[in-house]
Amino acid sequence: MVSCRRYNPEDLATWNSFIQNSKMNAFFFLRSFMDYHSDRFDDHSVMFYDEGQLIAVLPANQNQDQLVSHGGLTFGGLVLSRKLRSNKVAEILTSLKEYLLGCNITSVIYKASPHFMHDLPSEEDVYFLFNDGAQLIRRDLTSIIYNGRKLKLSKGRKALISKARGNGVVITESDDITGFYGLLSGALEKHGVKPVHSVEELEMLKERHPKNIKLYIAEENGKALAGALMFNFDSVEHTQYLATSDEGKTVGALDLLIGTLIERFHEGESRVFSFGISTENAGKYLNEGLLSQKEGFGARSAVIDFYEWNLNG
């Protein structure tokens, strides 16, 4: 029978080792990433064992009588052992349900990991959750490109890329998080929003994960006009933050930057290039202009689903 218990700091090495050898090796499930915002979330991650062997973990936090998987991450359902078969996932969820009810937790907000993030197929969780009455409550639209399935750039994107090259814009890798953050904050301020992370958090996370977090800058005569902070998940390259100045927008600096990153992606070994979501207001509003920009680079749509699981039936 599967048993489960709450994660504690003494499990750090075991947790990290499991993540790195799981069906979804996503670095933001490592404790060195998850714990950076431990002051904002009451961590209630869970570990599952079968005959003494760790077979699954669930990154999660508790919000009163509700478990969220995970409130500080874009998504985060069950992370499963590569050897695990589907019928065992049903046992895992039964064990989780019994454990949570014993903790007076009566519902779960479950952010299912999108299929393109999996190194191996891993959607058994959604099937068994659905069969136990979990309800789909939110669906975000995200944009991705598959390696080897390259679509042509739109005429508008091609024109702006050519314009940027004609103006002498060049692409470089950078460690100047502070400079990029100023560019990002200025761009987001026009829309009345702020970056999710502070500059100190981004600097800390980049220092902890130098192979996974990369910053690229488009500059002209040494002046930064656009930037892209990339999260690299082994087989998935994700644009965590994109920003450009008004001057950069005029000369097409961000277009050249994105186009260059996509070209490098197609020449590499990663399976998926991810732009992130184009939906707002819990998925109910589609930013069609943002989606059109991504599709102009050859991206097409996938979904990220959220379920609510009422443990009392």
Q: Where residue 142 falls among pLDDT bands split at 50, 70, 90?
A: very high
d(CA 71, CA 59): 9
Tell me what pLDDT residue 125 has: 96
Token pair listed for 4: 């489960």
d(CA 253, CA 170): 9
Tell me what pLDDT residue 186 has: 86
User: Do 32 and 209 meet the contact criterion of CB atoms below 8 Å apart?
Assistant: yes
On the question of pLDDT at 181 being above 90, the answer is: yes
Tell me what pLDDT residue 24 has: 86
Q: Where residue 169 falls among pLDDT bands split at 50, 70, 90?
A: very high
Q: Give the DSSP per-residue string, 33-57.
A: HHGGGTTTSEE--EEEEETTEEEEE
On the question of pLDDT at 25 being above 80, the answer is: no
Tell me what pLDDT residue 276 has: 94
> pLDDT (tens digit, 9 = 90+) per residue, 32-57?
999 988 888 999 999 999 999 999 99
Tell me what pLDDT residue 46 has: 98
Mean pLDDT of all residues belonging to the chain? 94
User: Do 41 and 3 meet the contact criterion of CB atoms below 8 Å apart?
Assistant: no
Tell me what pLDDT residue 92 has: 98
Alpha helical stretches, state H, 190-252:
199-208, 246-251
Q: Do domains 2-139+305-310 and 148-270 have the same CATH topology?
A: yes
Tell me what pLDDT residue 191 has: 72
On the question of pLDDT at 204 being above 80, the answer is: yes
CATH fold of the domain at 148-270:
Aminopeptidase (3.40.630)
Q: Where residue 249 falls among pLDDT bands split at 50, 70, 90?
A: very high
Q: Where residue 193 falls among pLDDT bands split at 50, 70, 90?
A: confident
Tell me what pLDDT residue 21 has: 92
How do the domains of the chain map onto residue ranges? Answer: 2-139+305-310, 148-270
Tell me what pLDDT residue 37 has: 80
CATH number of the structural domain 2-139+305-310: 3.40.630.30
Window from 148-152, 205-209, 255-259, 275-279 with minimum mean pLDDT:
148-152
d(CA 45, CA 43): 6
Q: Where residue 216 falls among pLDDT bands split at 50, 70, 90?
A: very high
Tell me what pLDDT residue 195 has: 84
Q: Where residue 72 falls among pLDDT bands split at 50, 70, 90?
A: confident
On the question of pLDDT at 79 being above 90, the answer is: yes
On the question of pLDDT at 313 being above 80, the answer is: no
